[in-house]
């Protein structure tokens, strides 16, 4: 076992003892890898700072948070109306052509109560990166983008980008929230973006990062 793997394994054991000792309540963690990315052990519920910020690159996700990437079929209708916890929307598909790159991030609501979460997307890359972020509950199928649909902001970033409006959505206790960032135009990829998650800050259970 390399020194780095030994360090990571030791950290995970120490963090697990810390989280579940004493009151048994989850505690905040700030441990980092060499490049400053947080290490998130598998199966441990952690309290997250609010707002939670995740920086990613479309097509490869984030170096600090687990994600999946691929191609999405079609996109949702941008009707200019943002979903809210009080007034949710119904899924509406605008296009069905394939080839839109996406990154998906999954969070579990471990609070024991329904959380009203606010999502917002900022696109950093200035050209050829018209992105949108949508929310899904428990299931996201890139070939059937209404499956598991929960909410959307009603707008994409445009190019050069402006920040789409924040949108909010209820995540029931014990359910998974999946935030999906995708391009609205087939072929766009490699775009830098920042996800902001705020509102009811929920403890989240994340799968561990692959650490080489």
Residue 36 lies in a domain: no
- Separation of alpha carbons 137 and 147, rounded Å: 9
- pLDDT value at residue 109: 87
Domain that holds residue 81: 42-205
Let me know how long the chain is: 212
Rg of the chain (C-alpha set): 18
Q: What's 179's domain CATH number? A: 2.60.120.380
- Separation of alpha carbons 138 and 173, rounded Å: 12
- pLDDT value at residue 39: 41
Q: 100's torsion region: left (phi>0), alpha (psi -120 to 50) or beta?
A: beta
Question: What is the residue-level pLDDT of the chain in tens, covering all 212 positions?
Answer: 433 333 333 333 333 333 333 333 333 333 333 334 444 444 444 445 568 899 999 999 999 889 999 999 999 999 999 999 999 999 999 988 889 999 999 988 888 889 999 999 999 999 999 999 999 999 999 999 999 999 999 999 999 999 999 999 999 999 999 999 999 999 999 999 999 998 876 655 443 333 23
Residue 31 lies in a domain: no
pTM of the model: 0.75
- Tokens 């199928």 belong to 141
Q: Are strands 176-183 and 131-137 parallel, antiparallel or unpaired?
A: antiparallel
Domain count, the chain: 1
- Tokens 């605008």 belong to 94
- Separation of alpha carbons 89 and 13, rounded Å: 43
Secondary element (H or E) of residue 117: strand 115-123
**Omega before 51 within 30 of 0, i.e. cis:** yes
- Tokens 């650490």 belong to 211
- Separation of alpha carbons 133 and 136, rounded Å: 10
- pLDDT value at residue 13: 33
- Tokens 């989240």 belong to 204
Contact predicate 166/194, CB 8 Å? no
Residue 57 lies in a domain: yes
- pLDDT value at residue 203: 54
Residue 37 lies in a domain: no
CA angle 32, 36, 38 (to 5 degrees): 40
Residue 16 lies in a domain: no
Cross-strand partners of 182:
102, 132
- Tokens 């963690």 belong to 29
């Amino acid at each position: 076992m390399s020194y780095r793997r030994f360090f990571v394994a030791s950290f995970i054991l120490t963090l697990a003892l810390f989280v579940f000792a004493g009151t048994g309540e989850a505690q905040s963690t700030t441990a980092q890898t060499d490049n400053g990315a947080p290490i998130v052990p598998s199966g441990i519920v952690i309290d997250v700072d609010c707002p939670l910020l995740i920086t990613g690159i479309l097509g490869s996700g984030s170096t600090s948070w687990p994600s999946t990437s691929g191609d999405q079929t079609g996109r949702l209708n941008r009707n200019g109306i943002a979903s809210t916890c009080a007034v949710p929307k119904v899924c509406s598909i605008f296009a069905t052509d394939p080839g839109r790159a996406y990154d998906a991030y999954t969070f579990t609501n471990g609070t024991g109560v329904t959380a009203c979460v606010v999502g917002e997307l900022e696109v950093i890359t200035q050209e050829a990166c018209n992105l949108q972020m949508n929310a899904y509950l428990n299931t996201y199928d890139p070939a059937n983008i209404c499956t598991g649909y929960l909410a959307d902001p009603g707008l994409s970033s445009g190019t050069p980008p402006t920040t789409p409006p924040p949108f909010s959505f209820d995540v029931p206790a014990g359910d998974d929230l999946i935030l999906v960032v995708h391009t609205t135009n087939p072929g766009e990829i490699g775009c830098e973006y920042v996800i902001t998650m705020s509102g009811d800050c929920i403890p989240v259970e994340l799968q561990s990062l692959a650490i080489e």
